[in-house]
Amino acid sequence: MKKRFVLWTAVLFPIYAFLVYLYLFHMAGTGVPAAYQGTAADPSTFMTAKELELSQEFSRYKDFLFFIGIPLEALIYLSVLVFGLSPIFKRFGEGVSRFSIIKIPIYVLLLSAFTWILTFPIDYAERKLSVTYGISTQSFSSWMQDLLLSFWIGTLIMIILITVLYSLMKRFTKRWWLYAWVLLIPFFVFMMYIQPVVIDPLYNDFSRLNDPVLEEKILNLADEADIPAERVYQVNMSEETNAMNAYVNGIGSNLRIVLWDTTLNNLKDKEVLFIMAHEIGHYVMDHLYLNLAAVILSSLIGLYIAYRVLHVVIRKWGAGWGVKHVADISSLPALFIILSLLSFASSPAELAISRSAEKAADQYAIEMTEDPQAAVGSFQKLTVNGLSDVNPPALVKFFRYGHPTMMDRISMLEEYKEK
């Protein structure tokens, strides 16, 4: 099994990478459709020739790294199973303690660290790419600090979830997926509640918007939309990136309206107001709660399918991997592979729904602000600032884009201007 795994990986992965390269760099079209040429959606009307060239290069390299990374994590988990590392991780945890509350966290930590190390080259390549093309301004030490912080936060959360999950597996062999889903619901709500005030501040400094006039205008928009906000926050992102962003997140008393300082530095007030109206539109149309409901529903479906498939996988290959049964913590890499495949399979539908929600928020924002010129200007500056591809290849849009393309968004605004 080991030799076959190495052979097939050594043959198929380079072929896959080469096909991705051919598609992105030689087969996918990069031109602007005739219907958009010369319009505000045509990047040649608001980008220099050099910016156009850089945006094409940056987008293609970034997309290449994304598609290369898709099968990598699954291959790592499969290698842990095939080469017998999973039982070794388990025995190490058992050597420390025979209690599940100790040995399972040790296993999760070892698996997470092993995966983190092997995926680090992709993370570093993405960082290097962003620095080379002037998107990231973050120092290597600061970037490493954030990366390690993400690792420990993610691992801690994973330890809690996996410890509970495998305890349920042992106690309820046929209904663990259902009980796990029931417990996930309050967890999702809790994470959504604490994200703005506990997790986000670990990475960046948040402060009250230092422009009281602009803050008042934004709060007036929020008040018009019945958003219970008393202040607008700005976050210091200019030390890390040149990209721009704004968002409304959190629920209840922890709801926050947030602007990156890069957005404030690069956009005019009217353009900022359009961006904020877009984010307010998500709140007004309950996209935050609909997204939460979608996550809850998809987790139910995913856990049930994983329950069915995991039993089949362990029954067929478990003995060769040294995995005794489904509730054995050594089966975790197999569970992760199944969940990764389910996530990949469902991502096009999820992204399509997201694009629809983003389009609705754009429409809400333009109707709220009634300033299409500022709206177009904000999207054009976002494109230039982030070296975005206004017309990405079809597969990139299908598997990556949770927003409509900039070409679609700007052309929608142009239609509004005509009306």
Catalytic residues: 279
One-letter-per-residue 3-state SS of the chain: CHHHHHHHHHHHHHHHHHHHHHHHHHHCCCCCCHHHCCCCCCHHHCCCHHHHHHHHHHHHHHHHHHHHHHHHHHHHHHHHHHCCHHHHHHHHHHHHCCCHHHHHHHHHHHHHHHHHHHHHHHHHHHHHHHHHCCCECCCHHHHHHHHHHHHHHHHHHHHHHHHHHHHHHHHCCCCHHHHHHHHHHHHHHHHHHHHHHHHHHHCCCEEECCCHHHHHHHHHHHHHCCCCCCCCEEECCCCCECCCCEEEECCHHHCEEEEEHHHHHHCCHHHHHHHHHHHHHHHHCCHHHHHHHHHHHHHHHHHHHHHHHHHHHHHHHHHHHCCCCCCCHHHHHHHHHHHHHHHHHHHHHHHHHHHHHHHHHHHHHHHHHCCHHHHHHHHHHHHHHHCCCCCCCHHHHHHHCCCCCHHHHHHHHHHHHHC
Exposure b/e, 60-70, CB count within 10 A at least 16 = b? bbbbbbbbbee
Q: What CA–CA distance (Å, rounded) separates 92 from 86?
A: 10
Q: What CA–CA distance (Å, rounded) separates 306 from 301?
A: 9
How many CA within 13 A on the CB side of residue 44? 9
Task: Give CA 34 to chain center in angstroms.
Answer: 33
Strand order in the sheet with 206-208: 206-208, 233-235, 256-260, 246-249
Q: Look up tokens 């960082």; give the residue.
A: 127
Q: What CA–CA distance (Å, rounded) separates 170 from 147?
A: 34
